Copies of this chain bind each other. A is one copy, B any other.
Amino acid sequence: MKIAVYGMGRFGSFWASLLSERFCVAGYSRSGRVFPDNVKRIKEEQLGEYDTVFLCCAINAVEEVCRRIAPLLKPEAVVIDTCSVKVAPAKLMENLLPKSCGIIATHPMFGPDSGKNGVEGLPIVFSPIRDKGGCFKFWHDVFAEMKLDIHQMTPDEHDSEAAFTQGVTHFIGRVLNELELKNSPIATLGYQKLQEIVEQTCNDPLQLFLDLQKFNPHTEEMRVRLKKALDDTIKLF
């Protein structure tokens, strides 16, 4: 089983390094990033040599990446995305990749920070899209062996849950960031938690925030309800 990771950014590097404990892993990156040990750098044209390709690109890049890799993949390849939204990438993979390819949509809900002491017990969302060559069972088993906490659901179930969990958290973090909240000698414990949320969400690239909102069909409802709740609360005064 030869595995390629397409997109060696912060998450892609971490993921490739993690998979290299079990498999022979190669990585493709547009830029000249430093690769982890055990992960071989390949050119885009070499993707056809790999059995499973993980997409670790930005959400907004999935369409272009699918178009680019579709003619390069081997017919029986399995493609697995790792984006933080699921409906849009799942549809794009289904529509743009060869019909002979297996497809799984996943959302590993951790990264190099939360997974730095191991990923045991950390959640991964697992959405089976197109089964080829037993790829659903194979990868489910691998994630189980990695002791990940596997949550199988449809892309829409994921996006609906995520809009009101991760989506609302990032939204509040970005809104509060505009207020430029400062440290205070009289900070309460609750305020310190609020500051941690701002730091954590704004530590992620702005593009991730924009993509989480734009490409998740359920975030609009979240934003409408959040605005109404704020306007109603302001009207109390």
Spell out A's residues near B (CB within 8 Å).
107, 109, 114, 123, 125, 151, 158, 161-162, 164-166, 168-176, 178-179, 181-182, 184-191, 193-194, 196-197, 200-201, 210, 213-214, 219-220, 222-223, 225-234, 236-237
The CA of A171 and the CA of B123, in the complex, are separated in Å by 31
A223 touches B227 (CB 8 A): no
Take A164-B179, A165-B191, A179-B164 as given contacts and tell me if A233 and B184 are in contact as well, using a CB distance cutoff of 8 Å. no
Give bound CA distance, A169 to B120, whole Å.
33
- Pairwise interchain contact A186-B151, C-beta atoms closer than 8 A: yes
Min C-beta distance of A172 to chain B, whole Å: 7
Chain B positions within 8 Å of A222 at CB level: 179
Select A165's contact among B186, B213, B229, B233, beta carbons within 8 Å.
Answer: B186
Identity of the chain B residue whose Cβ is nearest the Cβ of A166 in the assembled complex: B188
Assembled-state Cα–Cα distance A200/B222 (Å):
22
| B237-A230 in contact (CB<8A) | no
Q: Name the B residues within 8 Å of A232 (CB-CB).
A: 178
Residues on B with C-beta less than 8 A from A233 are 171, 174-175, 178
A175 CB → nearest B CB, Å: 5
Whether B176 pairs with A168 at a CB distance below 8 angstroms is: yes
Contact B175 A191 (CB under 8 A): no
Asked whether, in the complex, the Cβ of A186 is within 8 Å of the Cβ of B230, the reply is no
B230 touches A230 (CB 8 A): yes
A158 touches B186 (CB 8 A): yes
* Minimum distance in angstroms from A118 CB to a CB of chain B: 16
Say how far A111's CB is from chain B's closest CB, in angstroms: 10
Q: Check if A186 sits within 8 Å of B237, measured CB to CB.
A: no
A151: chain B residues at CB < 8 Å are: 185-186
- Chain B residues with CB under 8 Å of A191's CB are 165-166, 168-169
Residues of B within 8 A of A185 (CB): 123, 151, 161
Report chain B residues within 8 Å CB of A210: 236
User: Is B165 a contact of A109 with CB atoms below 8 Å?
Assistant: no
Distance (Å) between the CB of A66 and the closest chain B CB? 24
